Amino acid sequence: MKKKILIISGGVSKERLISLDTGLQVANELKKNGYKVKISEPNNNLKKNISQFKPAVIFNALHGQFGEDGYIQTILESFKIPYTHSGVIASSIAMDKEISKKIFISNNINTPKFIIYSYNKENLNLIREIDRKLKFPVVVKPINEGSSVNVYICTKKNIQKILNSMKNYKRVMIEEFIAGREIQVAIMGNKKLGAIELKPKRKFYDYQAKYNSKAKTEHIIPVDITKKKLEEVMNMALRAHKIIGCKGISRSDFKFYKNKFYILELNTQPGMTKLSLVPEIANYNGIKFIKLLEWIINDSSTKR
Ligand SMILES: Nc1ncnc2c1ncn2[C@@H]1O[C@H](COP(=O)(O)OP(=O)(O)O)[C@@H](O)[C@H]1O
Ligand SMILES: [Mg+2]
């Protein structure tokens, strides 16, 4: 008998639709391979669904706020049923770009310079501070969002307008802009799974470039860099994964400019549709989608 799997997807984050797609595709693949599967939203019905369906494993297919930041993981801990991916602390650290970058910096994992912009504080010398510490253009982004939601490349001319449009966040991150290539690395347990390069046709790897097939981002695998450089970026991702205390799969996003890698962030709940980046990296390295899902399921645990 194959394990009963309850997949949590949807939720309330800005990445709800992507999570629903991840959930559905994971469910279809598992069903095709003989698993009993139920999909649930992370709402009031979750507890009822669990007590009726009695899953052996809970597959977390959520992305973004509430699903990737330690909140749902805290609830999952209370059920005492093995669940997939990272636990409470690693999830909340990785989702917070400010805290995770501070951890990267203190561990010598190169990351773009940044400042934090607070809305409840006067920011009189902002332009001067940026000129001095970061230089324009800069990237303005939320501290705890994903999928490039509300990520903007800003010049001296439009930064104030962009910041004004983001007032519903308490604070945002302003980061040094790194030109160059975009490379992402997948980690599987304590192993380096592989890397992929993204070549967006758009100005950067924004929401459309990620999810709209018409935006035609090119996926390049294997990445055309030296073996030594590939090892270097994969080692950075593995160290980030370990230092944050991640479990299972993670995907770290990098920029590669003038022969130097910069980690942008680590994702503890990377997209898991059949065409998402981690499944693509796995497939290239000989791990079919179902085998990847089965590995994730077998890696699930009540302990972190
Ligand atoms: N400092 C930066 N320099 C250049 N491009 C960036 C920078 N930060 C983000 N980007 C672009 O925005 C995308 C999304 O940023 P990222 O920090 O990965 O946030 P998200 O969690 O939304 O994926 C990146 O993949 C990259 O294309
Ligand atoms: Mg990213």
Q: What is the helix, strand, coil percentage profile of the chain, to 5? A: 35, 25, 40
Residue of 144, 145, 114, 110 whose CA lies nearest to 129: 114
Give the ligand whose atoms come closest to the C-alpha of residue 150.
1
The pLDDT of residue 290 is 98
The pLDDT of residue 26 is 98
146 Cα–ligand 2 center, Å? 6
Query: Residues with Cβ < 8 Å from 271, sequence gap 6 or more?
Result: 18, 22, 63, 277, 278
Task: Tell me the β-bridge partners of 199.
Answer: 218
The pLDDT of residue 229 is 98
124 Cα–ligand 2 center, Å? 30
* Residue of 294 and 212 predicted with greater confidence: 294
Task: Write down the mean pLDDT value for the chain.
Answer: 96
Q: What is the DSSP letter of 177?
A: -
Give the ligand whose atoms come closest to the C-alpha of residue 250.
2
CB 251 within 8 A of CB 277: yes
Distance between CA atoms of residues 76 and 47, nearest Å = 10
The pLDDT of residue 259 is 98
205 Cα–ligand 1 center, Å? 7
- Residue 219: pLDDT band (50, 70, 90) is very high
Distance between CA atoms of residues 159 and 298, nearest Å = 47
Distance between CA atoms of residues 235 and 229, nearest Å = 10
Please state the pTM of the whole predicted model. Answer: 0.96
CB 125 within 8 A of CB 117: no
How confident is the model over 80-110, as pLDDT tens digits? 999 999 999 999 999 999 999 999 999 999 9
Q: Closest residue (by CA) to atom 15 of ligand 1?
A: 148
The HSE-up count of residue 219 (CA atoms within 13 Å, CB side) is 16
The region of weakest confidence among 7-11, 72-76, 203-207 is 203-207
CB 210 within 8 A of CB 219: no
1 Cα–ligand 2 center, Å? 38
Q: Closest residue (by CA) to atom 14 of ligand 1?
A: 148
Q: Over range 237-253, report the average pLDDT.
A: 98
* pLDDT over 90 at 112, yes or no: yes
Q: Which atom of ligand 1 lies nearest, measured to the CA of 209?
A: 27
Residues having CB within 6 Å of any atom of ligand 1: 112, 139, 141, 145-149, 151, 175-178, 182, 204-205, 253, 255, 264-265
32 Cα–ligand 1 center, Å? 35
